[in-house]
Amino acid sequence: MGTRVAVIGAGISGAACAATLRRAGIDVAVFERGRTEGGRMASPTIGQRRVDLGASYFTASDDEFLAQVRSWRDDGLARPWTDTFDVISPDGRSTTTGPMRWAADDGLRSLVRALDPQAKAGNQITDLRDLDQDAVVLAMPDPQAARLAPDAFDWVDYEPVITVAAAWDTRAWDLDTAAFVNGDPDVTMIADDGSRRGDDAPVLVAHSTGELATRHLSAPDDAIAPVVATLRRLLDIGREPVVTYAHRWTFAKPTTTHGDEPFGLATSTGRLLGVCGDSWCPSGPPRTEAAWLSGHRLGAALADELG
């Protein structure tokens, strides 16, 4: 039998790691506790239509990730969305132009699925001793990895976000793409999901502040009313939405990072234990690109060690 690796977590970092290991000829088993792959690039069906509930978009600057993005684009999966967002502040509204933000017509989760179509969901790992592979990869937020290997690394903390999706019968707001919201106690970001998904559906997705999420973590539906009220106030929407949905991200974003390290790799109970994810981001913010790079680079390093 050849070399075997268990990758726990089928978000973008785990999928990138698995794909790189498979290309190196290694036998990979992916374990994902959720009902589908994607992790924080989630695009569940709400009211018969996919909605991006996690990452709003992604950016790309690293050459290796740019090559991956071009491949998604050439396969018709990802497309450039916009480089311009609104900014809503207590002082008023303006726009800001930055890097190209990319979106996926079928939802960002489709990109994770395309990376590693073999991932099987619905498999939670609770004890690493249940695995007999030659090496194990933890591809998940640090607090979740810490439950499986408490002493293996210096884990970092994550903060929560509650995402609220709201659908109207018709488009009733003046927002072309998305808005960064500054200085609001409840909402940090509003995205027009119909704009980014390319079907013009009248659906907005709002990400809460950490404070609002912390207050409503045990009952996320209670965040719907204040977030919808904020959406209606900020965008001057006269009507209540016809569908609303709240999703709790207990570990949405790291509050600090692992500095210059692109991934973690150690020997634990006689075998290699790797860790990747968005908290391992030496050259950029803890976002989608960093998570992909961390998983891909860990996969390449493990393939070297095991090859």
Ligand X SMILES: Cc1cc2nc3c(=O)[nH]c(=O)nc-3n(C[C@H](O)[C@H](O)[C@H](O)COP(=O)(O)OP(=O)(O)OC[C@H]3O[C@@H](n4cnc5c(N)ncnc54)[C@H](O)[C@@H]3O)c2cc1C
Tokens found for residue 9:
């977590």
277 binds ligand X (CB under 6 A): yes
**Residue 276 and residue 260: Cα distance in Å, rounded?**
13
Please report the sign of the dihedral spanned by the C-alpha atoms of residue 53, residue 101, residue 114, residue 74: positive
58 binds ligand X (CB under 6 A): yes
Q: Give the one residue of 4, 22, 29, 33 binding ligand X; rule: CB under 6 A.
A: 33
Answer whether 172's CB lies under 8 Å from 241's CB: no
Instruction: Tell me 209's DSSP state.
Output: P
39 binds ligand X (CB under 6 A): yes
Give the DSSP H/E element, type plus range, for residue 131. Answer: none
Only one of the segments 85-93, 167-175, 213-221, 283-291 lies at the binding site for ligand X (rule: CB under 6 A); that segment is: 283-291
Please report the sign of the dihedral spanned by the C-alpha atoms of residue 213, residue 214, residue 217, residue 219: negative
252 binds ligand X (CB under 6 A): yes
161 binds ligand X (CB under 6 A): yes
Answer whether 160's CB lies under 8 Å from 268's CB: no
Q: Give the one residue of 21, 103, 273, 291 binding ligand X; rule: CB under 6 A.
A: 291
Q: Nearest approach, Cβ of 140 to ligand X (angstroms)? A: 4
Q: Give the one residue of 5, 40, 196, 203 binding ligand X; rule: CB under 6 A.
A: 40
**Residue 185 and residue 98: Cα distance in Å, rounded?**
25
Pairing of the two strands 187-192 and 178-181 = antiparallel
Helix, strand, coil percent values for the chain (each to nearest 5): 30, 30, 40
Task: Pick out residues in 91-110 that bind ligand X (CB under 6 A).
Answer: none
CA dihedral angle for residue 146, residue 151, residue 155, residue 158, rounded to 10 degrees:
30
Answer whether 205's CB lies under 8 Å from 56's CB: yes
Q: Give the one residue of 20, 21, 57, 65 binding ligand X; rule: CB under 6 A.
A: 57
288 binds ligand X (CB under 6 A): yes
Only one of the segments 31-39, 166-174, 237-245, 258-266 lies at the binding site for ligand X (rule: CB under 6 A); that segment is: 31-39
Q: Nearest approach, Cβ of 51 to ligand X (angstroms)? A: 12
8 binds ligand X (CB under 6 A): yes
Q: Nearest approach, Cβ of 239 to ligand X (angstroms)? A: 25
Interface ranges with ligand X (CB under 6 A): 8-14, 31-34, 39-41, 54-58, 124-125, 139-141, 144, 161, 163, 207, 249, 252-253, 277-278, 286-288, 291
